[in-house]
Amino acid sequence: MFAVVRTGGKQYRVAPGDKIVVEKLDGNAGDRVTLGDVLLAGDGGSLKSTDGLTVDAEIVAQAKADKVTVFKKRRRHNYRRKKGHRQQHTILKIVAIGDHKAEKKAAPKAESAPKSGEAPKAGAGKAAGGRAKEIADTTAAQHESNAVVGTPTENPAPKNEKAAGAEKPAKKAAPAKAKPESGSTKNAAPAKAAAKKSPKK
């Protein structure tokens, strides 16, 4: 069963066992609260009457939202005001809607793999084969990712080189500069100054 309740000017869709964060309500952790403003109620696809319907909740904690900075400024008037604000909230756990109470959820059971001696059921042959192939693909992909991620690498630059026993690399010799050929202007820069000058008449 679900219901839509209004509290603190906001509407929330709730079901038994849900936890919601609402505007601050009076009370301490562990106190019971009744929300009487029920706008809508239903069970599955059918709606139910909300006359006299209430939602019971338990306060889990009183909390504050993240800090919001309020900054006001009027330019050219030397007016600046800075304030911080944290909205207060109450965390509620929905216990019951009317007479419907929260059901305790059982722990999910792990799927048991068929034993090696047992043969799979005839009806589930295709589904089991597809599922087995999917599991094999995912495990292969996981092994590949673990092989890449889990491989330790050596530190390329240890902090203490003497302790690491690493020798300092020898300095590389600078390449010898080639002497420009006197007759060649292949590598020479163009003579801009000579091109700009023109004979005066």
Place of tokens 């050929």: 181
Local structure of residue 84 (DSSP, 8 states): E
The model's pLDDT over 49-59, given as tens digits with 9 standing for 90+, comes to: 999 999 999 99
Distance between CA atoms of 174 and 130, rounded to whole angstroms?
64
* CA angle 117–120–121, rounded 5-degree value: 135
Distance between CA 88 and CA 60 in Å, rounded?
A: 14
Identify the CA nearest to 37 among candidates 8, 60, 1: 8
**At residue 116, does pLDDT exceed 80?**
no
pLDDT interval class at 102 (50, 70, 90): confident
Q: Is the model's pLDDT at 149 over the cut of 50?
A: no
Residue 151, pLDDT score: 44
pLDDT at 9: 95
Residue 45's pLDDT is what?
86
Q: What is the DSSP letter of 183?
A: S
For the chain, give the mean pLDDT.
76
Q: Residue 148 pLDDT > 50, yes or no? A: no
Measured distance CA(25)–CA(10) in Å, rounded: 13
Could you give the CA distance from residue 103 to residue 157 in angstroms, rounded to a whole number?
59
Please check the confidence at residue 177 and state whether its pLDDT lies above 60: yes
199 pLDDT tier (thresholds 50, 70, 90): low
